[in-house]
Amino acid sequence: MLNRALGLGMTLSIVLLSVYALAGTPDWLREAAKAPLAKYPDDTDAVVLLQERLVTVSPDGRVHSTYRKAFKVLRPSGRSKGMLYVYFDSQTEITSLKGWALTASGEEYEVKKGDAATAGYSEELYSDTRYQVLQIPAAQPGNVVGYEYQQLERPFVLQAQWPFQDEIPVRHARFVLELPPSWTYAASWRNHQPVIPQQTGDNRWTWELSDIEAVRSEPEMPNWRAVAGHFGVSFSPKASDSSSPNNGSWAQLGRWYAQTANGRRELTSAMRAKAREISAGGANPMETIQRLASYVQHNVRYVAIEIGIGGYQPHAAPEVFASGYGDCKDKATLLSALLHEVGIDSYYVLINNNRDYLSPDFPSMLAFNHVILAILLPDPADTTSTMPILRHEKLGRLLLFDPTDDSTPLGYLPPSLQASQGLLVTDGEGELVSTPLLPPLANRIHRTAKLSLETTGVLKGTIEEIRFGPFATTLRDNLLNLPAKQRQTILQSMLTEMIDGAVLTGARVGGLHDSEAAMTVSYDVTVPAYAQHTGNLFLFRPCVLGHKGSSILEGKPRQQPLVFPYAASERDVVEISLPAEYSIDEAPKDATYSFPFADYKTETKISAHELHYSRTYERKEVRIPIEKIEDLKKLYSDIADDERAYAILQVP
């Protein structure tokens, strides 16, 4: 949906840069380069010597921003600090762009705006946003590189955001705000104690920070915005319109968006006829909703249109209906209009598809990059406990649905939108709401294996797999994005992840083309040397199917909480026929491990010449706070021990 915050792919074409010796290096960069450095860990790639942003607001609302940043490169992997990307669009002009390098041997280099290449978003996006790409030379260990650029904006949202913390240490950071007379500001700090600004002129304030620690990137850590220091500031005239997106409450933002979308859900006669056609014969309200949702999800092509106000305002439903394409807010608008025609109300929900991106204390339209729909369920509508239902005190049951994600049917919610926060836009109001985390049973995988173990140690048989939720949608997307002849490669890879050394001899897939159905996969497998002879003993592991634990917590002590993509339930049932002439000597002990965030249980039974092994693993929460990391580490260790346990047969 919205604006340049989207991390869309860019096609870069870097031109050969002109390099000028004896460059006009500015005093601020020279001073930053002289600053003494602390002792940093040996794996530190670079250090930010200075990070500065100066924001000057004109009475007409134009914003002049100057950005300055200086790095000292410490390791070869820090050379990326010599590449700079600066956006511009119809509302934002780059008025100046320069970069410099100061080498350890005393050489100086300069590059300017004319040396930069221009890059844009991918062709799937209709947007006037472009980038100037500037490569600063000599970004080598021991050297200092810096840049300065200026932008002139006429933004729709009068706010500035300053992410002052980095993956590398920051020596000094400064933010300066200068406003016209009679303007005011409101500041917000995230993941940092508030800093009192110094008043450095009439309606001019300066915030300064020093020696900011690096935030270490770790696997499965929260969104960067949830852990790194961030400063946001809103500014406006004292007597500004209360419905403006620049007045600081979520309710006011909701009112502004409702006004922006006002009149966009009107219907034409053709649209009314289509709504009646699609819903005709629906047995109940849920079937009616499902039919209309599926129509918009699969028959309106996604094309993002983000030019000017188009980054925020949806196109009128008749335009979307006639053209057959639109972005997330357009698809939500069309579906809302069609639902209203059959007597079902719905509401916009503005959200970010990066969980924990939004800061509850800083109301901002810049926090959102996506729009979904909250559908008001009629009282007779039957639902299940696994549906993404928001129970609103005044409105009632609201079923959350993403019309843009054609892989996720009605009744589910993409994992990135679960356990998050969004702005519910009702008639003239706005309210920050929490989206539900779907229970483990909504995202489950059930495997049943019927196998036989030969005296040679070869394991053979069939594994049947049923997938629901993201387990199904992820596999479906992966397979459909490949030619049919190459899909076997994906299935072989999945089998190898389950059983080391397994060979896929046949496979069948069900539900591939039906996004509303579960997916089934059948594997015919052969595993050479699965069991081993040791003297008169025959050893094998009953835990055949996959690994539930993880090694990501090994190594350095964890600094960040851990975030899973979704709650999940996995169940394995394994039957292994054993050689008739061998007898059972020892079987693994049953295991049960339970924590507030996860449960794990295994059971092994022996009957005649068969071994029956079952296990369940249920992940109940998605956020593991730092104080619970040791519990998770212990669970992973216990699971690994259980998975390594052997069954022992006696050889006659």
Give the pLDDT confidence score for residue 246 in this predicted structure. Answer: 63
Pick 379 or 174 by higher pLDDT.
Answer: 174
Residue 93 and residue 192 in one domain: yes
Confirm whether 635 is domain-assigned: yes
Split into its structural domains, the chain has a count of 3
Verify that 385 and 505 share a domain, yes or no: no
344 within some domain: yes
State the pTM of this model.
Answer: 0.90
- pLDDT band, residue 4 (cuts 50/70/90): very low
Residue 13: the pLDDT is 36
**242 occurs within a structural domain:** no
Same-domain status, 373 and 457: no
Kind and range of the H or E run holding 376: strand 370-376
- Do residues 393 and 419 both lie within one domain? yes
Domain-located, residue 178: yes
- In the block, tokens 């729009």 appear at 371
How many CB atoms neighbour CB 264 within 10 A? 20
Residue 3 domain flag = no
End-to-end Cα, the chain, rounded Å? 69
Mean per-residue pLDDT of the chain = 91
Do 345 and 203 lie in one domain? The reply is: no
DSSP of 526-559? EETT-SEEETTEEEE-S--S-----STTSSSPP-
Q: CATH no. for residue 233?
A: 2.60.40.3140
Is pLDDT of 114 > 90?
yes
pLDDT tens, residue by residue, 538-560: 999 999 998 898 989 988 899 99
More confident residue, 526 or 157: 526
Query: How distant, in Å, are the alpha carbons of 224, 245, 498, 550, 558 from that of 220?
Result: 11, 34, 21, 11, 11
Whether residues 25 and 67 share a domain: the answer is yes
Mean pLDDT of the 310-318 span: 88
- Domain membership of residue 57 (yes or no) is yes
Both 328 and 447 in a single domain? no
146 and 224 fall within a common domain: yes
Tokens 């100061």, located at residue: 102
Counting Cα atoms < 13 Å in the Cβ hemisphere of 361 gives 13
CB 404 within 8 A of CB 302: yes
Q: Specify if 121 maps to a domain.
A: yes
Judgement on whether residues 524 and 395 belong to the same structural domain of the protein = no
pLDDT digits (tens, 9 = 90+) for 392-402: 999 999 999 99
CATH of the domain at 407: 3.10.620.30
Domain membership of residue 5 (yes or no) is: no
Domain boundary, last residue among 237, 260, 285:
237
pLDDT at 311 (0 to 100): 78
The string of pLDDT tens digits covering residues 39-84 is 999 999 999 999 999 999 999 999 999 999 999 999 999 999 999 9
Residues facing 48 on adjacent strands: 71, 170
257 pLDDT above the threshold of 90: yes
The parent domain of residue 22 ranges over: 10-237
In a shared domain, residues 260 and 225: no
**Final residue of a structural domain among 206, 237, 268:** 237
Among 208, 237, 266, the domain boundary falls at: 237
